[in-house]
Chain A
Amino acid sequence: MKTLFPLLFVALLGACIPTTGGNLVTFHAQASGDPALVNGGPLTFTTPRGFEVTLTRARVTVGALYLNQQNPQNYSLEQSCIQDGIYSGEVRGGLTIDALSPTPQPFPVEGNGTDGPTRAAELWLTGGDLLADTDKTVVLDVAGTATSPTDGPFPFDARFTISGNRVIPPRNPALPGSNPLCRQRIVSPIAFDTRLAEGSTVSLLVDPRAWFVSVDFTDLPKVSDTPLLYRFTDDSSSSAQADKALFTALRNAAGPYRLELTTP
């Protein structure tokens, strides 16, 4: 009790000292597969298209994590990848996440930001430079087997990069700056309604099932008979539905990714 009063006094005094509002905070950041789904071993699930998928490898490389105090603008005209003034937090260090592991994998750097409202998050799927023309970093590395009641097993793998292979030419020649490559590298906006606090932990939980929601494995090209292997094509010019579906799902802010905040 003797120590309680001085602490109470200091707390009251602090409450009376005016400030400009808000605070700068540092936080920990970590990522893992969704613990409710994965246990470190292969993950088996059935997709809406009826494929039973057993994933033996599911890694995603996140170059950086940014938090937004407001949702980014509609990108119909303003094609900027970086929108000045909307950020409430950042983790500027990359991590290749084993999405089959429920063990928290810490980002290599601490995050920092403000304790104002956070509305959304961005994942930057890059090896480091968001604006680089060439980036050979494998941002998605998956392998497994998909089977369906009607079709045989489809052992598959995918190693996706986002580089010149993902450039989308502008639809309107008068808008040469539309669809910049950096847009392909950003997964946004991921809903994350919270307020950061000093010492809190931001956990990125990856649900690898969501990457395969729309994939039609029958569309995959076979690359080997022995062993049997189908492979996703690492190029947006591929006309295969599976390639487009997986890449689209990789960048889908609403499905595979979820963020949680744990305060100390």
Chain B
Amino acid sequence: MSSLTPSRGLLLSLLLLTTRAFADVVPPEVVSRFEATLPADAPPPNHDHVLLEFTVSAEGRAGDVLVIESAGAQWDKASIDALLKWQFKPALHDGTPVASRTRLSFNMPVQLMVKPDAGPPPEPGDGGVAPPAIVPSDEADAGHPHHDYATTVLGRSQPKSRGSADFTIDVGALQAVPHKSAADFLKLAPGILLTNEGGEGHPERIFLRGFDAREGQDLELTVDGVPVNDSGNLHGNGYADLNFIIPELVENLRVLEGPLDPRQGNYAVAGSADYQLGLPERGLTVKGSYGSFDTMRLVGLWGPPGESSRTFGGVQLFRTSGFGQNREAQNAKVMGQYEGRLSDSTSFRLGALGYGTMFKSAGVLRVDDVKNGQLGFYDTSDARQGGDALRAQVHFDLHGHTGDFSHDQAVFLIYRSTRMLENFTGFLHDVQLAQQSPHEQRGDLFDRDTSTFTVGARGAARWRTKLLGRNQDLEIGYFGRFDAVRGTQTRLLAGSNTPYARDLDLDSKLTDVGAYVDLNLSPAWWLTLRGGLRGEMLTYDVLDLCAQKEVRRPSTTSPPGDESCLSQRDLGLYRDPSERNSTSGGALMPRGTLLLGPFQNVTFSGAAGTGVRSIDPQFISENLKAPFASIFSWEGGASWQQHTDAWDANARAVVFGTRVDKDLVFSAQDGRGLIGGSTSRLGGLVTARVRGTFYDLAGNVTYVQSKFDDTNLLVPYVPDLVARLDASVFHALPWLEPLGSPLKGRAGLGVTSVGRRALPYGQRSDVIFTIDASAEVAWRQFSVGLSATNLLDTQYKQVELNYASDFHTSGSLPSLVPARHFAAGAPRMVLVTLAVHLGGEP
């Protein structure tokens, strides 16, 4: 085998790429080429070129290579080997890097071609008078074909940036940083803290820029546009469980911190996050992990070669005994999606997923119980806590474009079921009512069960025109969803788990319809105005099957008071225990962004907008008429980005403020957020990311203060300082090439630091500082990795609360005043992962 330089080896020519889809699509460009190796013992090429079709990812790497026209197996392989080493500048769609599918031909040296009237071909590398010539296509002789191909932009058009608080995060090499769940990727956006007091299958509690978004109640979460927030969930309206996502299938993430884009709908109080799924690595990957606390994870992933990264399948099986008491969990996930084309101008995606989990939860502990040795740090006060969850979903979307017009349509169908057993207070809530038989405190284990069937659609149409010599866009869109929700909350008797009281029994029909218009105006190269108006209308039809809990005029013939949901006769008039309430409300929400620049790679931005959060159906049942909490948010900042052949870098600095008129404040007594007063936030953040050929570094720091408007006191539980560092390095290990194949190394590091969070009664939590790390070595199709979370094995409290509880742990006299509680963060956990990758690119 001999190595050939571009001038002497295979003829390489990147064909002229044109675009038909959009005038503003910039096709991928070659940044660096690798020399191809001429096959030593190959028979002469049987065709004058090898035509390859492949995907240039948003990161500029070639993949999903298909041979369209072959010159023989060894020539094809040599061409593909070379192509996979190339670096591209990715295609740009509206200035955003996107994956694209394109073609490239490797022209064979004519000297090596077998001609019918020729003798034996010269040996490769034969230094004769006329060595094999490699000529770019525009210099090619008349005998070589010249191809014109369209660049097909894959995926959907990305929303245009809404300023410095709009983060489109390409996970990329930061996949190497240990991520236990898809929610963990949120931490790549600044100011986000995730905690979890509910166990392995419980969604993460999300804190973002001074908001306690609970399990997503203040953060609109979507996966490829399909909503994740559960409307009407009794655990919290807008409860969002991201655990159904297989983390390896997260390709990138858009986090918009604040309601600044007309596309954002209900729950976008602190902002929104949209996960975009994909599997860049084609072929079949099987992973098995085993580690601390008998944790086992099996993952299978596949992406058919030749299809886009948005065509994939994945399955995950997981179980763990959990650290400490009562933390065992198991789950199974399947996800699949196919992206195809109906025509040159229309593509579609069809996907389905299923998810099921059962888990136990240690819940929260009283600090004094741990201090006096009655409980260990990782113990539980009530081993009945835990839950289960199901999700089944199908979704279908279409994307089409014709000239200056494009459109998207999507429909989704979701079934969700969640059950959560939580006990925050022990034995406090069970009030003895006069109508009830005398009883002791029977325990505060809440059993919340919600089943939701959701059907919905979203769509948008965009029109572009040239004005003032620049592109100007108009988009109109809609979003609609219908939710049929059945939710019950019962309390279970300590010891036997017998339901002894029903607090809630709601049968709700909820609709949410939003429509928006969005303009993108650019009167000058340095000035861009984006924004528009969104209208949102929500309707509630709530049948409260347990509306009557007390008997106004009790008598021996009026029903027995030990029942929870009571019918009664009041002065001879029968009163049914159920009650129906319905209401609706609408809101108009202007949102706009002003962008100035870029001036020497720096763009300045300012944005403002209003948003809404629908309220919990149980409050509708209580005849609360206001259907919304309203939010006003603003931000100003500067973004800098620079691209060179060696590195990509960007940095931002943002100041922001938000006001919410009816904020949710967590109530441990109720185990959920309750509507509180109005709150305001003021803060700032800085973030930066640098990516090179062997490293990827990202870091951010956010500081914010959240206060109640009337008292100027801090909003409890919200962290004011959050800092995060993610780092990854990856490179072939020097001097190590067993059997001629290099060993490739990859390592990741994630560092989280959270300041002392404000707690009720003037208290402050402890500081959280954790380090997660991983290392992986890959050789040919095989890899072995080691990952450790909480590397320093810090014993820390991920959740700290301050409220009254009585778990009967310190004598028979109840504790009735606020005391410190916590949920333990996980100790060091180590996982060893073995993986094999088959098929896909050679």
Contact = CB atoms under 8 A, between A and B. Distances in A.
A195 interface: no
Given A24-B763, A90-B816, A130-B812, A79 B758 contact: no
Interface stretch (B520-528, B589-597, B620-628, B705-713): B705-713
Given A23-B761, A82-B428, A114 B705 contact: no
Nearest to A90: B817
Contact of A19 (B438, B551, B714): B714
Interface string A60-100: 00011010000000000111111111011110110000000
B289 interface: no
A4 to B, nearest CB: 25
A163 interface: no
B567 to A, nearest CB: 14
A22 interface: yes
B759 interface: yes
Nearest to B429: A84
A199 interface: no
Interface stretch (A171-179, A220-228, A229-237): A171-179
Nearest to A93: B813
A85 B431 contact: no
Interface in B785-842: 802, 804, 810-820
B555 interface: yes
Contacts of B815: 90, 92
Contacts, number: 132
Interface residue tally of chain A, by bracket?
Answer: 35 or more
Contacts of A128: 811-813
Given A78-B433, A175-B554, A19 B813 contact: no
B804 A92 contact: no
Interface in A156-208: 170, 172-178, 180
Interface residue tally of chain B, by bracket?
Answer: 35 or more
A88 B817 contact: yes
Interface in B416-445: 428-429, 431-441
A24 B761 contact: yes
A175 B435 contact: yes
Contact of B713 (A19, A113, A170): A19
Contacts of B669: 84-85
Contacts of A131: 440-441, 812
Contacts of B496: none
A129 interface: yes
Contacts of B763: 20, 23-24
A19 to B, nearest CB: 4
B716 A20 contact: yes
A64 B813 contact: yes
Contact of B705 (A18, A22, A92, A177): A18
A82 B430 CA distance: 9
B550 to A, nearest CB: 8
A75 to B, nearest CB: 9
B556 interface: yes
B127 interface: no
A172 B669 CA distance: 32
A21 B713 contact: yes
A112 interface: yes
B759 A20 contact: yes
Contacts of A77: 433-434, 550
B556 A84 contact: no
Nearest to A69: B817
Given A18-B705, A18-B707, A112 B554 contact: no
Contacts of B802: 24
B807 to A, nearest CB: 13
A93 B815 CA distance: 11
B434 A178 contact: yes
Nearest to A94: B813
Nearest to B431: A80
A92 B555 contact: no
B432 A79 contact: yes
B762 interface: yes
A54 B762 CA distance: 50
B762 A85 contact: no
27 contacts: A18-B705, A19-B758, A20-B716, A20-B758, A21-B711, A24-B818, A24-B820, A63-B813, A79-B433, A79-B434, A81-B432, A82-B816, A83-B431, A89-B817, A90-B816, A92-B810, A114-B761, A130-B812, A131-B441, A174-B554, A174-B555, A174-B558, A176-B435, A176-B436, A176-B438, A177-B433, A177-B435
Ranked 10 nearest A-B pairs via Cβ: A129-B812, A174-B554, A87-B816, A80-B431, A175-B434, A21-B713, A92-B813, A178-B434, A19-B762, A177-B436
Given A24-B761, A78-B433, A128-B811, 12 more contacts: A19-B762, A20-B763, A23-B761, A80-B432, A84-B669, A92-B815, A93-B813, A112-B819, A129-B813, A175-B554, A177-B434, A177-B438
Interface of B: 428-429, 431-441, 550-551, 554-556, 558, 561, 669, 705, 707, 711-716, 758-763, 802, 804, 810-820
Interface of A: 18-24, 63-64, 66, 77-85, 87-90, 92-93, 112-114, 124, 128-132, 170, 172-178, 180
